[in-house]
């Protein structure tokens, strides 16, 4: 008798769990707190103009003026959802590449390699001491996409 009770209990649990998963989009590739950062849902991506300037200057080895650093850090901190900060930095980096006409080449600006610019942009949260989610527990303050070759 108890086996039937366990069976029906598990069946009921699976039915409720499946219904909740469908309702909350658990099967979606874009579910979770980062899904709030999707422009398709109405999220407005920050242009991070101060960070654009900072990343370009750092990449070519120039001194970054204090005002530029302050602007970048303030713009990044103003992104209320910390899950969106790395995504906005990635969008900013893609727009810099587009602006400069960077394709598959290695050099973004004279004296600035694409990989260096990517790592510079990914480390902005650490430089600014602005928190970002870090589920893996390692490389706190550095955007996860820096580890991927085509980010």
Instruction: Confirm whether 31 is domain-assigned.
Output: no
Instruction: Confirm whether 126 is domain-assigned.
Output: yes
Instruction: Confirm whether 30 is domain-assigned.
Output: no
Q: Report the number of distinct structural domains present in the chain.
A: 1
Alpha helices in the chain (DSSP H): 2-23, 49-59, 66-77, 85-100, 114-122, 124-128
Print the domain residue range for 121.
44-150
pLDDT score at 138 = 52
Instruction: Confirm whether 139 is domain-assigned.
Output: yes
Instruction: Confirm whether 85 is domain-assigned.
Output: yes
Over residues 105-115, the pLDDT tens digits come to 688 888 898 88
Q: Give the CATH number of the domain where residue 86 resides.
A: 1.10.110.10
Instruction: Confirm whether 14 is domain-assigned.
Output: no
Instruction: Confirm whether 4 is domain-assigned.
Output: no
Over residues 14-52, the pLDDT tens digits come to 443 444 444 444 434 455 555 678 777 778 888 899 999
Instruction: Confirm whether 120 is domain-assigned.
Output: yes
Over residues 62-94, the pLDDT tens digits come to 999 999 999 999 999 999 888 899 999 999 999
Partner residues linked to 109 by β-bridges: 112
Look-up of token digits 């120039």: 62
């Amino acid at each position: 008798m108890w086996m039937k009770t366990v069976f029906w209990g598990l069946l009921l649990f699976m039915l409720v769990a499946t219904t909740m998963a469908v309702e909350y989009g658990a099967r979606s590739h874009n579910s979770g707190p980062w899904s709030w950062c999707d422009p398709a849902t109405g999220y407005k991506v920050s242009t991070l103009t101060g960070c654009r300037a900072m990343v370009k200057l750092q990449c070519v080895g120039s001194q970054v003026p204090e005002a530029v650093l302050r602007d970048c850090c303030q713009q990044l901190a103003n992104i209320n959802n910390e899950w969106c900060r790395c995504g906005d930095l990635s969008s900013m980096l893609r727009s810099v590449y587009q602006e400069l006409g960077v394709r598959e080449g290695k050099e973004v600006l004279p004296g600035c390699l694409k990989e260096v610019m990517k790592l510079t942009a990914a480390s902005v949260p650490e430089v600014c001491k602005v928190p970002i989610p870090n589920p893996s527990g390692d490389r706190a303050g550095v955007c996860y996409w820096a580890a991927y070759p085509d980010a």
